[in-house]
Structure 1
């Protein structure tokens, strides 16, 4: 075994007692556990990451064979980035509208069926662990607050008041007895009386624990939370670099975001003009959207109808792509298509457990009270989250036995994954997966959304001025202005726009990952095309590019463009 793989093995073994995904990556059972969110593990994990990074740094890269260089580069970058995120305080204090420890605890039960067997008993064991896991998370947030007051973290020890409040409101919606009653609504199949009785008791305990955690956020943590949401240039540079896995020129990225936004807004108006047969002007997209909504074309009603459409669209896309732009793994169709009501109203992807105890899921959350959904607007999100986006990338990487288990199952880099998924939106159009002018308008509106993410996220956090543009006459960023960009240019609804802006403040720099990452994938493909000429083959490019496995954009650029 090479030195790099031996280090990676030891690292996984150290993670395994605290992180079920690491245990499962090593082939150990862990479906009955939740992740360790205690302050003790937070401290120990930071020390472990730093020590392992130092071990990797001590290895002479020139002595590594070709198979180990990507793993070495990916692991060293990720560990350094994780240490950096910890030192800003981002990881210890993390509260945001999505993808935080609070959400991971709840999502451990998404679309779960409790059965009278070992799998069902594992669900019950996880459910029994909810109160203690939330108590550990509460202690971590208290510890982070105290460490922040001592000046340990460059970005502070408590998330902004907006984030604390948003998460508390989300918890309230999950456990609302007149609404979702999440844990009291877990599905069962053939449960015996003893298990059924235990499920009711454990669900009540989990609900009570979340209620207590909500109370802690509102009554205790909120009192220490800063009212200023922006993190400033220094912290933003650190968090953005960690999320993307690359050194960044923020001025260049800001300018790129504006150029993309103006280009795409012009494109949306052109498509809308063709759809409506009316002149290109600032209101033509709104007229087109109104006409599409009034027509009822491509509209679905009810969770069952939406889920059936989602399943059919994913299956059709897989059939169309296999053997053309990709050689797909045989099990890529084994993904659950879940439709549920939630406050967020977003589409997202959940990879399956490494041991197969839970399958991957494409989850489409329908805003409560919405009677129908226009699929033309959401097709691009399905491509982003499903195929050829996140699900395809995860499936190919997990089927790649040449990758170390750490890289196959645990290496999550926003710039890589979100960049690939956003690249996939345009790729879907190239490959004929966009079927109508209305779906193309939806795709362009989605790309506008990602462009707004760049300029709004950077502007709100770092105070960069708004340049002279035909899109806006304001000169300074405010949350209200960012929301108006999303509503007026990307045609999002008001609820989604607010959710997005709250997300930007909770994850400073993460919003850059989509378009910055996608640009790298496109640039690498174009350079490969120029280098190979007539010998270029899209399927071969995708095979080789994804074959290196997940990594930060810095190592990925070097791997794809042959810098080293």
Structure 2
């Protein structure tokens, strides 16, 4: 192991000790503590680790291309995180529905349940939730005292989310799964402790924090620049990206109109959608799970050996229905470090009993194969060819851009043959383009195409009508964009970077798509500002004969 690889591994271990909750979600193996310290002291310790790691990295020599890439990636990610700390973001780190509350809730769901030690760890984590929430509230109070306030809307929405977690089905599922085992009493008490923590946090956010929170939803250009660097691994011209997002949305809408005509000649997109909603669906969560499971498996069988070589551990992917989730959209969690916990796609179901399928197929490919599962899972399966830091972290623009590229690839391969599924794919693309204009427009206070400024209400209407988002997902999605600046743009801008890199590679006379895919996955995570250059260097030996 080189000195740089050792530093990367040490950072993962030291970070896991300071943030065991994040480590367990990422799948880091080993004995992890029950709690992350979300107080100012805890954030300070993690910031100090970033500084000392960067200082050590500056003293180390690179021994080859893999070392260079590992060092460059570690440096870029830690510098972006340091800027986030220096901007005071830990002290206004309040967002819904995919913020800290969701993290604490999800980390318990992901914990193994096979052994007595596993159940001990679950009890300890549940018991630790009230303390972690107290530490977080301490950071938020410090932020308010320093004039670093999150938006009032996020406080109110997070309070409602905390109240939903009080009655979470996840907690009841744990009690049922354990039954009358050795920790039955301790588990019930721990669930009660967690619930009390959520109750107090909901009260604090609504009664204490919200009245002192910022009234504006947007974060402004300086904070947005820090956030977009975090999620893209690149500095962007936000106004250029905003104009491109509008143009891209119009391009997609023209293609959707043509596709609607194929559903029924002369039909509008809304009419085609109504036809498909009434005909292309399954009834009941069990049938929905079976439908998802069959398409995940089909994609793996179809791609393995043709456009990809899929490692054995990645040929298994779990499909989980996320009962009680408020995330609004499906999401993915990668395998554990030792690959004992498989990758898993999560599908929020709410109170639904009827599930339309025509508009979900592209999401299967996005979250599963050839999307997140193939890319993020490959990071784990590649083992020591990547540093541990590369295996356990990601750049959202790189990962989400790849997942959108996966949807585009599925279309190029002719996979959207079921009725309406190509219209569904285009609807997903419209959603991602709408995200670009909403996210940049809100946070930089830019005018819409009608000359008006963005508001929460017109953003919801825009997402429903132009982003084609189902009605039940509109509210949580817009809350997410307003409270998570810079992340929503990573999908479409990431896809743009991936397609540009592939187009550059295609100009080589002996371009081979499978070889390019192999090189792309073996590269590991990189920022978008270096993606094309790194692929040019790595992919050359894979398909150009250099």
Q: Same fold (TM over 0.5)?
A: yes
The equivalent residue for 1:230 is 218
2:57 corresponding residue in structure 1:
56
Distance 1:230 1:97, change over 3 A: same
Quote the offset at 1:67 in angstroms. Answer: 1.4
What secondary structure, in the 3-state scheme, does the structure 1 residue paired with 2:453 have? coil
Change (3 A) 1:274 1:188: same
Deviations 1:310-334 (A, max 9, x none): 1111011100010111111101133
1:513: which partner in 2? 490
Matches within 5 A, 1:30-109: 30=32, 33-57=34-58, 64-109=63-108
1:556 is matched with 531
The structural deviation recorded for 1:390 is: 0.9
CA gap 1:190/1:242 in 2 versus in 1, 3 angstroms: closer
Aligned to 1:470: none
Q: Judge conservation of contact 1:184–1:204 (CA < 8 Å) in 2.
A: no
Residues 326, 476 of structure 2: 8 Å contact kept: no
Gap regions ≥5 residues in structure 1: 150-156, 468-472
Counterparts of 1:301-340 in structure 2 under 5 Å? 301-340=283-322
After superposition, what is the alpha-carbon deviation per residue over 1:28-54, rounded to whole angstroms, capped at 9, x for unaligned? 322x62433232120121122133224
Partner of 2:5: 5
| Residue number in structure 2 paired with 1:478 | 455
What CA RMSD, in Å, does the superposition of the two structures yield over aligned residues? Answer: 2.3
Q: Are 2:97 and 2:326, in contact at CA under 8 Å, matched by a contact in 1?
A: no
For 1:507 and 1:47, how far apart are their aligned partners in 2?
Answer: 24
Q: Give the whole-Å Cα distance in 2 for the aligned partners of 1:375 and 1:484.
A: 23
3-state DSSP of counterpart to 1:553 = coil
For residue 248 of structure 1, the aligned residue among 231, 236, 240 is 236
* Rounded Cα–Cα distance in structure 2 between residues aligned with 1:26 and 1:374: 36
Aligned to 1:499: 476
8 Å CA contact 1:383–1:389 kept in 2: the answer is yes
Q: How many angstroms apart in 1 are the aligned matches of 2:179 and 2:277?
A: 44
Give 1:144's aligned residue: 143
Distance 1:116 1:331 in 2: 22
| Distance (Å, rounded) in 2 between the aligned partners of 1:452 and 1:560 | 29
TM-score by length of 1: 0.89
Q: State the alpha-carbon separation in 2 of the partners of residues 25 and 219 from structure 1.
A: 36
Give the secondary-structure state (helix, strand or coil) at the position aligned to 2:183.
helix
The answer to whether the 8 Å contact 1:344/1:499 transfers is yes
Match of 2:277 among 285, 293, 297: 293
Q: Are 1:388 and 1:421, in contact at CA under 8 Å, matched by a contact in 2?
A: yes
User: In 2, Cα distance between the equivalents of 1:436 and 1:191?
Assistant: 43
5+ long unaligned stretches in structure 2: 541-546
Q: Is the 8 A contact 1:458 1:464 kept in 2?
A: yes
Q: 1:234 deviation in Å?
A: 1.9
Q: SS where residue 256 of structure 2 aligns?
A: helix
**What TM-score, normalized to structure 2?**
0.92
Aligned to 1:353: 336
**Preserved CA contact (<8 Å) 1:466 1:475:** yes
Q: 1:272 aligns with which of 221, 245, 260?
A: 260
Q: Distance in 1 between matches of 2:329 and 2:187?
A: 29
How far apart are 1:14 and its partner, in Å? Answer: 2.5
Contact map agreement 1:115 1:189 (CA 8 A) in 2: no
Cα offsets for 1:449-472 (capped at 9, x unmatched): 0000111111111122334xxxxx
**Number of residue pairs matched by the alignment:** 535
Contact 2:436/2:488, CA 8 A, preserved across alignment: yes
Offset, 1:248: 0.8
Does structure 2 retain, via aligned residues, the 8 Å contact 1:34–1:105? no
Q: CA deviation at 1:79?
A: 0.3
Distance 1:187 1:313 in 2: 31
Spell out the pairing of 1:374-523 with structure 2 (5 A cutoff).
Answer: 374-401=356-383, 402-409=385-392, 411-467=393-449, 473-523=450-500
